[in-house]
Amino acid sequence: MTSAQTPLAILQDTYGFDAFRGEQAAVIDAAMAGRDALVLMPTGAGKSVCYQIPMLARTGVGIVISPLIALMQDQVHALREQGVAADFLNSSLPAEEQRAVVDRLRSGRTQLLYIAPERLLQPRTLDELATLTIALIAIDEAHCVSQWGHDFRQDYLGLHVLTEHFPGVPRMALTATADARTREEIVTRLELNDPARFVASFDRPNIRYRVSPKLDPKRQLEHFLKGHEQEAGIVYCMSRKKVEDTARWLSESGHVALPYHAGLPADVRSEHQQRFLREDAVIMVATIAFGMGIDKPDVRFVVHLDLPKSMEAYYQETGRAGRDGMAAETLLLFGLQDVVRLRQMVDESESGEERKREERRKLDALLGWCEITTCRRRALLAYFGEQPQADCGNCDICLHPPETFDATVAAQKLLSCVFRTGQRFGAAHVIDVLRGSATDKIRQHHHEELSTFGIGDELDAKGWRSVLRQLLVQGYLEADASRFGALVLTPRAKPLLRGDEQLVLRRDAVAPKSAKASSSGKRSAGSVEHTISAAEQPLWEALRNCRRELADEAGVPPYVIFHDSTLLEMLQHRPESQAEMLALNGVGQTKLERFGDAFLEVLKGAQHEGAAP
């Protein structure tokens, strides 16, 4: 389109959105004024618009630096569907096509160029670009410059040369994950020039957070998935083996579930990723190797069957849900084993002492968050430095406040049992002694003679594991990594044992009996479909089919045609003309011309059916 349009006109015509959201307008103003900028926005807030629109509104080509080669193609396709002349350059592109891209650049036809950092930094690319007028340089995933972060990319460190090579061209660094230290690192390492800073709230109000003790993970997962039939989601597991097992089990139970981990051949991984992007309801069962930069907007749920490493990792991984702003749901399962194993991993890691202390602190923050009995979102945001004023009403705790109980006596029993058995045994044995079980190990060590033998019949083994887990998390006990997880008292245990301290713990809810029998087996509010009535279901399916056919024809994922939110608007407003269609969110000029009639046709068909007696 022409570069004479204002940013707002571009938003409306090219993107089909009515108004800017949050800080978008302010960010765009800064770029239009030629200023460098640092933009921190949570996933799904709409970062792309922040740099794409000034690129279209200013004279010259916009350069987008992204480390995510696998995604460039989809991003470029999506832009082309909107009528933007976009291209990408990376090592995956055959030489001949690279030449065509360069030709288009030279001719001045290209509006947006996506490029991998290593490619950009090649001297001949820098020379080539130096001959062009450049509207804006966007550096996406800018936290990759941080050597402390887990997404560090060596190539990103080289990007400071852009200052010299492109004097006067504004640069915008964007990321969804950056604490205060990383922010400063981005500004320094990229040599941004007095950047305007935009830090949006990290809240993702459409994401419902759920955390549960791991009681019967398969059943808990099955129960959760009942609320998400026909939806796309990610299930994270710690190990490759568990990924394989879980994917197999889900497939056998009738889901479309695919495994993804670093041990699979590259072509299998890429095929699974493509299916996840292109089909409507694939469950990706994955290690954390999956997900960086997946910008599929309609991921409706993210499940962690094992604990992530830190709050940061958790937030980033769950952040892949609900990028389109529609309801999404997460579930995190954590158990005693996770607590012990993750603590051991930190203790045994090769990192230096300072790093270990940091890792321990991060893990403890996450564990503490799992056990809290107050609004999860408030605590989550507080961890990232925000202070929300009210409870959210959209987390497990707000929805179902947990039961708590005075656990002082139970904790005393458990701690003294650890002490009496010599602080040499792990959880299973200590609980056997408490419950007075007749195991060989107990006989072998004469533990049936201890004063704590059999004093714990008020709780079953699960109940004791729950108390034990909470004592570990709160620091009354430690599991000694060098002695196979033997439980050891810490100095904190003393006042509790002496009776100087009261302890209140949460009572873990029981696992759902079976997925069918459960009372909340109905669709949860985490689902998009819950907003669709049974009567609307056939039309919804027809709209989705229409989208799928158009997507297959164009060789792009369905959401590139229209997002779920746009289909939902069609369902609600039932447009009957091109003009009415254009009024919907997500329908711009180009998409109207290309796809409008196909959807109007589907809607018209439904109207006739609806009118029949």
Q: How far is the CB of 378 from Zn ion (least distance, A)?
A: 6
- CB-nearer residue toward Zn ion: 210 or 547: 210
Residue type, 208: R
Q: How far is the CB of 16 from ligand ADP (least distance, A)?
A: 9
Contacts of 233 (CB under 8 A, 6+ apart): 283, 284, 299, 300, 301, 302, 303, 321
Residue 307 sits in the site that holds ligand ADP (CB under 6 A): no
Residue 14 sits in the site that holds ligand ADP (CB under 6 A): no
**Residue numbers 272-301 binding ligand ADP by CB under 6 A:** 295, 297
Angle at 456 between CA 450 and CA 460, to 5 degrees: 135
Residue owning tokens 């050597």: 147
Partner in contact with 295, chosen from ligand ADP, Zn ion, none, beta carbon below 5 to 8 Å by kind: ligand ADP
Contact 36, 194 (CB under 8 A): yes
Contact 190, 146 (CB under 8 A): no
- CB-nearer residue toward ligand ADP: 41 or 363: 41
Contact 341, 307 (CB under 8 A): no
Residue 557 sits in the site that holds ligand ADP (CB under 6 A): no
Backbone angles phi, psi at 111, to 5 degrees: -95, -35
Partner in contact with 21, chosen from Zn ion, ligand ADP, none, beta carbon below 5 to 8 Å by kind: ligand ADP
- CB-nearer residue toward ligand ADP: 48 or 318: 48
Q: Give the largest Cα separation in the chain, rounded.
A: 89
Among the listed ranges 165-173, 206-214, 320-328, 338-346, the one in contact with ligand ADP (CB under 6 A) is 320-328
Per the DSSP assignment, residues forming a β-bridge with 333 are 212
Could you give the C-alpha distances from 317 to 3, 173, 522, in angstroms and in order? 37, 21, 26
Q: Which residues bind Zn ion (CB under 5 A)?
A: 375, 377, 391-392, 395, 398
Contact 499, 413 (CB under 8 A): no
Partner in contact with 578, chosen from ligand ADP, Zn ion, none, beta carbon below 5 to 8 Å by kind: none
> How many residues at the interface with ligand ADP, by CB under 6 A?
19
Break the chain down into helix, strand, coil percent, rounded to 5: 50, 15, 40
d(CA 426, CA 501) in angstroms, rounded, equals 25
Q: How far is the CB of 303 from Zn ion (least distance, A)?
A: 19
Q: How far is the CB of 210 from Zn ion (least distance, A)?
A: 10
Figure out which of the listed residues 7, 44, 195, 217 binds ligand ADP, where binding follows CB under 6 A.
Answer: 44
Residue nearest to ligand ADP (CB): 46
Residue 45 sits in the site that holds ligand ADP (CB under 6 A): yes
Partner in contact with 20, chosen from Zn ion, ligand ADP, none, beta carbon below 5 to 8 Å by kind: ligand ADP
What would the two tokens of residue 334 be? 């954590």
Residue 82 sits in the site that holds ligand ADP (CB under 6 A): no
Contact 434, 442 (CB under 8 A): no
d(CA 209, CA 377) in angstroms, rounded, equals 7
Q: How far is the CB of 511 from Zn ion (least distance, A)?
A: 22
Residue owning tokens 């994917």: 247
Figure out which of the listed residues 41, 178, 313, 331 binds ligand ADP, where binding follows CB under 6 A.
Answer: 41
Contact 186, 143 (CB under 8 A): yes
Residue 314 sits in the site that holds ligand ADP (CB under 6 A): no
**Residue numbers 374-393 binding ligand ADP by CB under 6 A:** none
Q: How far is the CB of 240 from Zn ion (least distance, A)?
A: 34
Q: How far is the CB of 375 from Zn ion (least distance, A)?
A: 3
Q: How far is the CB of 312 from ligand ADP (least distance, A)?
A: 17
Partner in contact with 377, chosen from Zn ion, ligand ADP, none, beta carbon below 5 to 8 Å by kind: Zn ion
Signed CA dihedral, 359, 365, 369, 370: sign only: positive
Q: Where does residue 436 rank: exposed (0-12), middle (13-18), buried (19+ CB within 10 A)? A: middle
- CB-nearer residue toward ligand ADP: 40 or 603: 40
Among the listed ranges 13-21, 225-233, 299-307, 513-521, the one in contact with ligand ADP (CB under 6 A) is 13-21
d(CA 57, CA 544) in angstroms, rounded, equals 33
Question: Where do contacts with ligand ADP occur on this chain (CB under 6 A)?
Answer: 17, 20-21, 24, 41, 43-49, 295, 297, 323-325, 563, 585
